[in-house]
Structure 1
């Protein structure tokens, strides 16, 4: 898609740009900071920071990335991962255990600052999706554990 400024400017967001934008937004919101707080504290230009939070990160200045990460309490390695500069394995971290969509849904459900109505709607949507998936995959409804299922199992160690 071209912008109103001509063919030279594109409004495309890469997967890395989206991941970095989410990392910044979530950290900023969790700290209760505004975009202006980040801009003033780090000296990153307004247009640059707003572009980063919108997912536009073609060639970010790594010193600026580091400064923003320090202010927001983000480990710079996580920014490097989000930007596609390195992998979790490069940093000696285990692979992400859950799909980012699942992590995001869990974060929203656990966030008491989210309106109760919004969290209830997400739960309902997730339950409907699970029900559809079970029906499509022809899987039985999982049973709730009872009695002996709740007892820790002993291992025979010789």
Structure 2
């Protein structure tokens, strides 16, 4: 694996961001739309277009790519990093309702009949979702 000097990575990433913003604007997106889609403020993605400052945090780059429907591999290539060297993407946050159901199902004080009803409902919802998705 070749390590890319930081100055080169910044220059390549700046070009990547400029292309991504140009393509987004060609689809009619404004800075406000880009911020809404990515969660990244315009001041940040405009700064990324320069070669000044440090390299961006991967989670911000991933959010930028996801919001603009760009593969993160393109950003990783621009930054000169591979899947092995990239910071891991954070685990998705578990839904609080699912955590609550898990606590109820593990609680020895909850009657078994209530647990069975919860499991049955979850199975039915899962089947309905798979059927609607065409599985």
TM-score, normalisation: structure 1: 0.39
Kindly indicate which of the two structures has a greater share of residues assigned to strand. 1
Normalized against structure 2, the TM-score is what?
A: 0.45
